[in-house]
Copies of this chain bind each other. A is one copy, B any other.
Amino acid sequence: MEKKSVIQRLKEKGLKITGQRLAIIDVLVEHGHLHPGASFIYREARKKQKSLSLSTTYATINEFIRYGIIKALEFDERENRCEGNLDEHINLVCDRCGKITDYPVSAYVDRTDVAKTTGFVITGNRCEYYGYCRDCSNGREGASPAAAPRKHRSREHFREFLSSRR
């Protein structure tokens, strides 16, 4: 993710280069590998751009998604996250600390085959593996579990489910 090319694309689309957008771009460039969520981006971008509201943060993220600059990683049980890596890969999602790691993988399904056999026309995909990252599976309480807040107050059963399924 190159700051210059992002700015370039915004200009091409006729969007204005504002301080707020620049601050958010900076966060995406610097912390993109963390797959930051809206709250993280908001908190971090504010350090450089004091006048930034949460609604603008959401709006900007959505702009960037709309223009294909980033992708959204949606979750039901936790905050959504941003994906800056548009290359083909899968995501390793830690169920304990919420860390998301990219793992490169070549295409696993042939879109033409699917279209021929089922009539289904593929336009996008999402592939994730859940489990525990190195730190969390080692018992080392690496990143704080608070990094993966849940949308609903209690979802312990779901945690159980996550850790028992395969």
Interface of A with B (CB < 8 Å)? Answer: 62, 65-66, 68, 71-72, 74-77, 80, 90, 92, 94-95, 101, 103, 105, 108-109, 114, 118-134, 137-138, 157-158, 160-166
Contact present for A128 and B130 (CB under 8 Å): no
Question: Could you say which residues of chain B place their CB within 8 Å of the CB of A137?
Answer: 119-121
Bound-complex Cα distance A146 to B123 (A): 21
Bound-complex Cα distance A138 to B114 (A): 15
Question: Could you say which residues of chain B place their CB within 8 Å of the CB of A165?
Answer: 68, 71, 123-124
Bound-complex Cα distance A62 to B155 (A): 10
Contact present for A132 and B126 (CB under 8 Å): no
Task: Select from chain B the residue with minimum beta-carbon distance to A130.
Answer: B124
Bound-complex Cα distance A137 to B121 (A): 7
Question: Could you say which residues of chain B place their CB within 8 Å of the CB of A72?
Answer: 158, 161
Bound-complex Cα distance A102 to B76 (A): 21
Per a CB cutoff under 8 Å, which of B71, B90, B158 touches A65?
Answer: B158
Contact present for A131 and B124 (CB under 8 Å): yes
Question: Could you say which residues of chain B place their CB within 8 Å of the CB of A123?
Answer: 95, 130-132, 162-166
Contact present for B130 and A126 (CB under 8 Å): yes
Contact present for A164 and B101 (CB under 8 Å): no
23 A-B Cβ contacts within 8 A?
Answer: A65-B158, A66-B160, A66-B161, A68-B161, A68-B165, A74-B77, A76-B80, A92-B120, A95-B123, A105-B109, A108-B108, A109-B129, A114-B129, A119-B134, A120-B132, A120-B133, A120-B137, A124-B130, A124-B165, A125-B128, A125-B129, A126-B127, A126-B128
